[in-house]
Structure 1
Amino acid sequence: MKWLGKIPFWLKTLVAFAAGIGVALYWGKEALPFLTPIGDTFIRAIKMLVAPLVFFTIAASIARLGHGEEGTGGRALKLGAQTIIWFMITSAIAVTVGLAIGIYFQPGAGLAGLPLVVEVHDPIPGPVEVITGIVPSNIFKSFADGKILSIVFFAILVGSALGALGQKTRALSDLVEQGSQIMFKLTRWIIQLTPIGVFGLIGSVVASYGLEALKPLIPYIGLIYLGCLTEIFVVYPILLKLHGLRITGFYKGIFTAQQTAFFTCSSIGTLPVSLAVAVDNLKLPKSYAGFALPLGANMKMDGCGAIYPAISSIFIANYFHIVLTPEHYLLIALASILGSLATAGVPGVATVMLTVTLSTAGLPLEGLAILAAIDRILDMMRTATNVTSQILVPTLVARENGMIEKASPLLTKPSAAVSAAEI
């Protein structure tokens, strides 16, 4: 069975995708009792990770800011605060782009026949109730009930306290960091089941409604790509220009990282390349890039945590004939912004963050089934967007603090560019 481990993950998923369609076309609806539990179990396994993943990721990331080397914890905290502020600003822009595209094109409107079952959901709370509800009266109940925004709020407080106490709580910070690593490992294990999950999910779709059921998703896929490309080639260049930085210098410098992200679908897997291009090509300080980029790989996900949930939430609402109110849009935006900061940089976690957004906004979770079946197609572009934003924000913060070397292609046109691919 060693040969099985040598098969690329994307190829396994593609084979499972084709196998699910083949089984469904051959046996038809008779295959549903076999296929449906497989897909349902995969979705439940992903949902199982949400609360602990969000808590440990955020708490560990913020705690790191207070433990800088050689007494630099104070400056690391300052730079970290600026970085997180820019994370939130750019995430808010990404959510706005996603919502604007979704509202204009209305994906999912008029669709019917997808394998989704309408369920009755609780009424949507008002804005005041949402804001006050972020502060938990009982954090353990919030964990039990899966109230993600309350968990995010608590994790930020815990991480901030650990960072402020510094060496006094180093052991506890290490424990939280270890908890984060455990969740990464569990997530990676679950994501390795994606081919099996895709087999069941796509098989259920085709067995229930035939291959024609996938055709309506082509416009939806196009809108996700449109949102990501708008961020990369419109929003980010504007931010670079406003900071007096060369747009071509930035994109030439990070192209290797973008390529790696597109094909691996993993921000964490791309991190070594991201660090290389940031330090060697863009000439960012290694001391700052060394903690800002890992922080971004865990907390900065414009593609997976902002654009994708925003457009997908509108798609699912339209499918279920749910008329979205301003309260819905507020909840989607809030959950997407905070969710973008909480997404772990491993393949497939966008499904987790869509779960967070749908749960927060009170929208049907059943839509995950059909979207998960095409997740690999979406994940390539989402991850490339994530990694671009993860390098962009430290670049902006470094510029604001005068930390970019004069020889950087961000400031002057180089005579001979250094390629990270040669490192």
Structure 2
Amino acid sequence: MNLWDATALAVTFGLFAGIFALARKRVNFSVLTFIGLFLGTAVGVVFRNHVEYVQPIGRIYVNLLLTIVAPLVIVSILSSITSLGSTAQLKTIGGRSVYWLLSLNLVAIFLALGTALLVGLGKGANLATDVDTRSLDSIQKPFTDVLIGFFPTNIVKDISENNIIPIILVSILVAVSCSVIADKAPQKVAPFKALVEAVREIIYRAVGFVISLTPYAVLALTAAFTSTVSADTSQLWPLFTLLVVAFVVCFAHTYLVNGVFLRTSANVSPVAFFRKILPAQVTAFSTQSSAGTLPLTTSLLRSRVGVPSEIAGFTAPLGTTIGMPGCAGIWPILLAVYAVNALGIPYGLSDYAVLVILGLLVSIGTAGVPGTATVTATTVLAAAGLPLEVVILTLPISALADMARTTNNVTSAAVAATIVARKEGRLDDAIFDAPDADVTTLALTAPDDEPTPADAAQPDDDALWGSLPVGACAIEPSPRERVGAR
């Protein structure tokens, strides 16, 4: 065992103990997550290239998150659709969810395209085109194959591989069938609906367990990433502008564009909203996985923002595969403009219009996992007839850019869910205006349940999770939400 690697692991566990002690003292969950982020950066800098034993901790957390994604999506959609009350509500919620997710991505595409053209992204860069692109062959697929892949042939295999679109389609099929039968003979599907609700409570309890580990995982993930960042940046200077533009555009869309949509379409305070979903943003920034952040996103939407469980459980999972403005909108467009300018490729207005359409199409069925931006960029560049070598040449900065891209993806999905809830007249302003509740506590309680003394912050729970001041978990769903969710 390497001494430096062992020392890094020992220091990390010592910092874990410090975070646990702060959790015992009821330090805010967002604060704990940020503490983990900063401590992880320090560990990575001090123990550069010596975090071999720390890195698996973060990967285990990501695996745990991905493990509960499929069960969460299935139970959320089944519960959401079967509790809507009628198939008419499904049409409005489903249609509005897709509309707002794609609308946010379309704005992101135009923002990326306009910014890239304005700064002349890629001009002056000397791109080599003699790179072996065989490594991209395995991920490059024709659009027809991608479309066929949306429809499952083996749902068990899709669940094991977290293929979200097929999972969503099968879940919707079963849930809609249940709703149609319930419209005519509710007693026939009553046992099934009761089973779904019971499983939902179990899954939410499991989600709470995993979410509570976020500050520790953020520390380990940040340490591993910071430690392995190359100190030799001379070869990255030609790409530095691309990285800066990617961060600027992603964060401009995350906060400015989404803020405008929140104020004009949902009539909520953007500042308050971003504060409430901050733990999900930090987790997305660290894990670089929209799907992995999904459990935390849905919990925050229900417990802090006031989005009903049936909308949060439908729109947020959908947002991990449709829309995805960071990975499917901004990044492919930036790479395309970078390639056009760097290689001096003649490009006209019609060509850029095709890029916009491609960016919108590729956002349907995007996988919310680390590295998906490489797949979407490859698809867009191949369809646009641009050299795929650019994707490989930009891989050194892609991991850095993925932090901003994933934060944008997660935020936009949460914004879409909030807007849909407002348009449906279901956004609970009492929850939104209340002091921020501790998501690690509320995630353990199914959203439609009446909190009981056993659900309140008990000493054993506090020792395990940490929470906000006593009473934070006593936020109840509004009567309107409870009626709609039953």
Indicate the TM-score class for this superposition, using the shorter chain for normalisation: 0.5 to 0.7
Match of 1:215 in 2: 237
Match of 1:93 in 2: 107
Match of 2:347 in 1: 324
Cα distance in 1 between the residues matched to 2:353 and 2:95 = 24
What SS class does the counterpart of residue 258 from structure 1 fall into? helix
Cα distance in 1 between the residues matched to 2:332 and 2:408 = 14
Match of 1:291 in 2: 314
Query: Does structure 1 retain, via aligned residues, the 8 Å contact 2:140–2:378?
Result: no
Cα distance in 2 between the residues matched to 1:407 and 1:225 = 34
Q: Which amino acid in 1 is paired with 2:121? A: P
Match of 2:271 in 1: 248
Aligned in 2, Cα 1:255/1:422: closer, same or farther, shift over 3 Å?
Answer: farther
- Which structure 2 residues correspond to residues 263-302 of structure 1 after superposition, within 5 A? 263-302=286-325
Aligned in 2, Cα 1:220/1:87: closer, same or farther, shift over 3 Å?
Answer: same
Cα distance in 2 between the residues matched to 1:341 and 1:238 = 24
Provide Cα deviations, 1:86-137, integer angstroms capped at 9, x if missing partner: 111111101000101111112111111x443399xxxxxxxxxxxxxxxxxx
Match of 2:119 in 1: 105
Offset at residue 82 of structure 1 (A): 1.1
1:235 aligns with 2:257: yes
Provide Cα deviations, 1:367-407, integer angstroms capped at 9, x if missing partner: 11121122211111110000000101011011011011130
Instruction: Mark the runs of 5 or more structure 1 residues left unpaired by the alignment.
Output: 20-56, 120-143, 159-172, 187-197
Match of 1:134 in 2: none
Aligned in 2, Cα 1:318/1:250: closer, same or farther, shift over 3 Å?
Answer: same
Match of 2:361 in 1: 338
Query: Does structure 2 retain, via aligned residues, the 8 Å contact 1:94–1:231?
Result: yes
Query: Does structure 2 retain, via aligned residues, the 8 Å contact 1:296–1:390?
Result: yes
Match of 1:372 in 2: 395
Offset at residue 265 of structure 1 (A): 0.5
Query: Does structure 1 retain, via aligned residues, the 8 Å contact 2:109–2:356?
Result: yes
Aligned in 2, Cα 1:211/1:152: closer, same or farther, shift over 3 Å?
Answer: closer
Identical counterparts, % of pairs: 26
Offset at residue 312 of structure 1 (A): 1.2
Cα distance in 1 between the residues matched to 2:365 and 2:140 = 18
Offset at residue 256 of structure 1 (A): 0.8
Aligned length: 311
What SS class does the counterpart of residue 319 from structure 1 fall into? helix
1:258 aligns with 2:265: no
Cα distance in 2 between the residues matched to 1:74 and 1:239 = 26
Cα distance in 2 between the residues matched to 1:117 and 1:406 = 57
Q: Aligned to 1:82, which of 77, 83, 96?
A: 96
Query: Does structure 2 retain, via aligned residues, the 8 Å contact 1:65–1:73?
Result: no
1:398 aligns with 2:440: no
Offset at residue 74 of structure 1 (A): 4.5
1:224 aligns with 2:237: no
Q: Which amino acid in 2 is paired with 1:237? A: G
Offset at residue 359 of structure 1 (A): 0.9
Offset at residue 212 of structure 1 (A): 3.1
Cα distance in 1 between the residues matched to 2:154 and 2:264 = 38
Provide Cα deviations, 1:173-217, integer angstroms capped at 9, x if missing partner: 6x464453354489xxxxxxxxxxx9xxx99xx9xxx96331111
Query: Does structure 1 retain, via aligned residues, the 8 Å contact 2:140–2:379?
Result: no
- Runs of 4+ with >2 A deviation: 64-78, 114-119, 144-147, 150-156, 175-186, 210-213, 419-423
1:116 aligns with 2:129: yes
Q: Which amino acid in 2 is paired with 1:417? A: D
Q: Which amino acid in 2 is paired with 1:83? A: S
Offset at residue 233 of structure 1 (A): 2.0
What SS class does the counterpart of residue 407 from structure 1 fall into? helix
Aligned in 2, Cα 1:118/1:351: closer, same or farther, shift over 3 Å?
Answer: closer
Query: Does structure 2 retain, via aligned residues, the 8 Å contact 1:298–1:344?
Result: yes
Structure 2 length-normalised TM = 0.57
What SS class does the counterpart of residue 232 from structure 1 fall into? helix
Structure 1 length-normalised TM = 0.65
Q: Which has the larger radius of gyration?
A: 2
What SS class does the counterpart of residue 430 from structure 2 fall into? coil
Instruction: Mark the runs of 5 or more structure 2 residues left unpaired by the alignment.
Output: 13-39, 50-69, 133-138, 165-224, 443-486
Aligned in 2, Cα 1:92/1:386: closer, same or farther, shift over 3 Å?
Answer: same
Provide Cα deviations, 1:233-282, integer angstroms capped at 9, x if missing partner: 21111111112222122111111110110011111111111011000000
Query: Does structure 2 retain, via aligned residues, the 8 Å contact 1:257–1:270?
Result: yes
Q: Which amino acid in 1 is paired with 2:142? A: K
Q: Aligned to 2:82, which of 69, 80, 85?
A: 69
Aligned in 2, Cα 1:249/1:298: closer, same or farther, shift over 3 Å?
Answer: same
Match of 1:419 in 2: 438
Match of 2:374 in 1: 351
Q: Aligned to 1:147, which of 139, 142, 167?
A: 142
What SS class does the counterpart of residue 347 from structure 1 fall into? coil
Offset at residue 145 of structure 1 (A): 9.5
Query: Does structure 1 retain, via aligned residues, the 8 Å contact 2:328–2:376?
Result: yes
Higher helix share: 1
> How well do the aligned residues superpose, as a CA RMSD in angstroms?
3.7
